[in-house]
Structure 1
Amino acid sequence: MFSTILIANRGEIALRVARTCREMGIRTVAVCSTADEESAVARFADSVVRIGPAPPKRSYLSAPAIIEAALQSGAEAIHPGYGFLSEDPDFAEICAANDLVFIGPPPEVMARLGDKAAARRIMREAGLPVLPGTDATDAAATEAKRMADVVGYPLMIKAVAGGGGRGMAAVREPREFVRVYGTIRAAAQALFGDGRVYLERLVESARHIEVQVLVDQHGNAVHLGERDCSVQRRHQKLIEETPAAGVDRAMTERMCQAAVVGALACGFTGAGTFEFLVDGNDFHLMEINCRIQVEHPVTEMVTGVDLIREQIRIAAGLPLGFSQDEVRRHGAAIECRVNAEDPTRGFAPAPGKLTEFRPPGGPFTRVDTDAYQGRSVPPDYDSLVAKVITWGPDRDTAMARMDRALSEFVVTGPGVHTTTGLLRKVIDEPRFRDAKHTTSLLQEMYLSES
């Protein structure tokens, strides 16, 4: 087992990783930009290294700075969290070249799965159902338009190297295609350094279901069940829950088994998720994430499995400590992402200094955050302030606890707004409460209010 791990991230996930390391007796090294020198993880970790100014490209996305920090601090492994360098195969290769263990899948696996179009092809060959679409293309607009006509409308244009809801757009009419195609290709090049895209049939008003898998280096693979991530704004998840209410249980079991088959087929190791769209009685694979997910706590709440601990154990070469038959899920859990955004202004970022910060407590309530009173929410990074997670023996109890927890949450400061009010509206929305919601829920709620 490792004696020292460097955490190449910030915010709540960095603190989350540090806490599990502390429980495992592993020394932690936090890295921070100049904007995060007073962060909670910088205070909690055993040591901290400042790696650059606030802009991510000069700090959390700077591979040389992070590698140098790891080498100087005596770290043996690097945990990348989510976002930033967590799915960068080049960074994983650099780690290996410096005798540092990257806590994640092998770089060649990340490279294959990071190319969304290639991942579709690999999974299709493994027998997983994928949406009708194309391979990667950088064809001229006229040629791409002919490909789109074969796929059919509505469709999505997606960046091959995309992720996190960025680098994608819907096209509902053939006359819109050329304009949107040019826009997304330019955005893909600017955001990811790769202008290639692929086309995929758009399924509107579907359910977004993902499956959590763990695979060790000895060929053992398990799934820990599914999570529903259908409440989204601009393809960004806001509420996640497990189990997926209102979805046929036999179908979710088939999805879970398909995820395990897919993981083994591509040589995956570590913790990952397979994301599916569910349309009626059909499900299709969308993409695979080679990292821990923001919403991993709901799975932990119902299984009792510490996913960060399992990531670390797998990276250290240890076999999984349990089989599929030993995985037990109890009750239901819901997570709400509280963001520093103003829903009344199109979810515009609303960072600032927190003059009051009182997170909720109470039975079966978990809050993952690195915020505290007097801390500033920096404008340079993701707007996530906290994740509130509640558990109950059933979904109704978990929802009641979530509504109570959100009502307790106090976050104030000059210019600071959060999404707590919106989240409570969704929890109270009949379509959500009856588990009849889809990925169109938020859009439909706003249209009904206008």
Structure 2
Amino acid sequence: MKRGNIIKLVTLVLVVAAAVALSIKPLVDPAKGIPLGLDLRGGVHLVLQAQPNKSGAPITNDDMDKAKAIISKRVNDLGVSEPIIQTDYNNKRIVLDLAGVSDPDQAVNVLKTTAQLTFKDPKGNVVLQGAELTDAKAGQDQSTTGAGGYVVNLTFSSDGAKKFADLTTKYIGQRIGIYLDDKLLTNPTVNVPITNGQAEITGYATLQAAANDAVLMRSGSLPVSMSITEKHQVGASLGIDSLHKSIQAGIYGLIFIFLFMLVFYRLPGVVADFSLVVYGLIVLWVFWMFRVVLTLPGIAGFILSIGMAVDFNIIIYERIKEEVRAGKSLRAGVESGFSRAFITVIDAHVTTLIAALTLYYFGTGTIKGFALTLGVGIVASLFTALTFTRLVLRLIVGISAKLNTAWFGIRRDV
């Protein structure tokens, strides 16, 4: 039994050490690691102001909701992770925080464009609307007669396909104009009737240019025109400096916690420190797998949850001390200590978890980030303490039934 516990304990330590070594590179990878928010990664803060309609009709809250939905879709299609998008109904504004945007001007143009797509016959009459478009995708020109470059492939609805077939049948040998917000994109010559509901816009010099127009066509047109009233670019250097300071503060805090647990709880303190490493791995891997965007408030929530994880261990260890001082063996004291501490710990963590869920549900932006990291940390700390810490302590007391209680920071004569 003693030999088996030693093997299990050594194996556990080696597995955790390997997990730490293997986790460093993927978690801190700038491209594929944990995504950073605007305050850490840099990006752009935008305020889009809705402009009055030409008809003089008032801008309604429904117009603002539709505009927000379309802008959200465009942001997602641009590949921006976890954007913060808020609507100010009173002032008819949409406020955006976009992290990791390398070309703010390009993003601005895509977001504020009304994106009204039209097809016009050779006489200049609008014969097909963008509303009859079901999809638009960017790609490379694969045609043998094309000039290379890039294209946008269009797919029409059933009604749109019929109209496009009639249009291309009627005007063989003539040009059809394709416009975006009355700006000519291309005016290809119709060589043969196109009856399959598929069309292609050619002539793009870069894939990014084709992709931007595809985003606009795919997301539909904004119900109101938008203008940029504020644009603040957040430099990555500021974010990196804040991140470094946060990491430095976290390291100092962890060193203090590790030393505190070692001095006051001896061997269980070592177990607690070991458990904190496992806890940190669990939380960071959850962030990575679910693409949780890390912000400064999010880091604060994570650090707060570390404090709660330590508090969990302290409560358990104090209960174990009480049981051993009352005359129980270390093995019985560990089991009884965990059982008696369970209700106290659960109550404290559940109430904090409820608070985190409330903040996440009703909060916005960075408040949500704080609540999310705090909630994930609480769940991870409960899991680690109730499974990993308990397992390691069981293995330790199982190695020797006569283990000196002084190793647990316990004096029986107290």
State the TM-score bracket (shorter-chain normalisation). under 0.3
Structure with greater strand percent:
1
Task: Tell me the TM-score normalized by structure 2.
Answer: 0.22
Structure with greater helix percent:
2
Task: Tell me the TM-score normalized by structure 1.
Answer: 0.21
Answer 1 or 2: higher relative contact order, Cα 8 Å, separation at least 6: 2
